[in-house]
Homo-oligomer: A and B are copies of this chain.
């Protein structure tokens, strides 16, 4: 039997790129095949469940990346603020300064498919829980930390959307800066 052309993790990484650029419906097997360098049959060998299994496997692979990017910093001895800085630095890199789309957002249009919607929601929750946990670590009441986490993720996702629609990267840079300043802050807004 022929040796694997590329490691399975590399296959997943390339599939991820396609799904996050084109979404689920837009990611045709032709494109997925070209991106991985594997023929259709090879893809079906790795993912007997077809395109849906490719998408769910990619979501599981993303969960691993999220754990690296968001949960690894949580387990260090650094201050909550430093941990947040580490998380946001990785996100800035992953989204290439706001020029690359988010897989979670691109899959939302296909959340109606049960095999997508379930894992998708779990990936959202994984991210939210990381932010929430960081807030709790910083001494913020859990309910508040949870709301802040949702708002922070919303800021990031929305900045990527506006960036994709307008080509403006500064929105994303400001979003990261704002999350940096507000997620853990004892803040109040003062009108003058």
A105 with B161, Cβ < 8 A, contacts A151-B171, A190-B188 known: yes
Residues of A142-179 at the interface with B, using a CB-CB cut-off of 8 Å, are: 147, 150-151, 153-159, 161-162, 164-168, 170-171, 174-175, 178
* CB closest chain-B residue, reference A148: B174
A167 with B101, Cβ < 8 A, contacts A185-B189, A187-B190, A188-B190 known: no
Of A18-26, A38-46, A85-93, the one touching chain B = A18-26
Contacts A23-B109, A185-B189 aside, 18 further interface pairs with beta carbons under 8 A come to A22-B25, A23-B26, A101-B109, A104-B165, A105-B161, A105-B165, A108-B165, A121-B166, A123-B165, A150-B174, A151-B175, A154-B161, A154-B175, A157-B157, A157-B162, A158-B158, A188-B189, A188-B192
Chain A residues packing against B (C-beta within 8 Å): 21-26, 101, 104-106, 108-111, 120-121, 123-125, 128, 147, 150-151, 153-159, 161-162, 164-168, 170-171, 174-175, 178, 181-182, 185-192
Lowest 8 A-B CB distances belong to which pairs? Answer: A158-B158, A154-B158, A25-B25, A23-B109, A157-B158, A25-B26, A124-B165, A157-B161
